[in-house]
Amino acid sequence: MPEPVVPRYLRTPDAALHLGVSPATLEKHRCYGTGPRFHKLGRRIVYTFADLDEWAATGRTRSTKEPTVGGITPLRRRPPVRR
């Protein structure tokens, strides 16, 4: 009996479920450049488990009183870079 196939990449809805956020939140983080790293396979956006877990770990803290160093930024646009 063949072993079940374990997915290497997750599309946005499954990646959002893995992180416990809505797909729209993940899409906005991707557009604003504040989300996890992703791959474009043709027109599809996919994530690896490692990239999702690494991004989630940036928000790890022990106390709400600790100063946030790095971390997951609030969901808002970054100002444009002047060149």
User: Tell me: the pLDDT tens digits for 21-62?
Assistant: 999 999 999 998 889 999 999 999 999 999 999 999 988 777
Q: What are phi and psi of 39, to 5 degrees?
A: -120, 145
Give the pLDDT confidence score for residue 62 in this predicted structure.
76
Is 51 part of any domain? yes
CA atoms within 13 A on the CB side of 43: 0
Is 80 part of any domain? no
Structural domain boundaries enclosing 43: 9-57
Question: Where is pLDDT greater, at 31 or 2?
Answer: 31
How many domains does the structure of the chain reveal? 1
Is 41 part of any domain? yes
Instruction: Write down the residue that tokens 């906005």 correspond to.
Output: 28
Is 67 part of any domain? no
Is 15 part of any domain? yes
pLDDT band at 69 (very low <50, low <70, confident <90, very high): low
Give the pLDDT confidence score for residue 68 in this predicted structure.
60
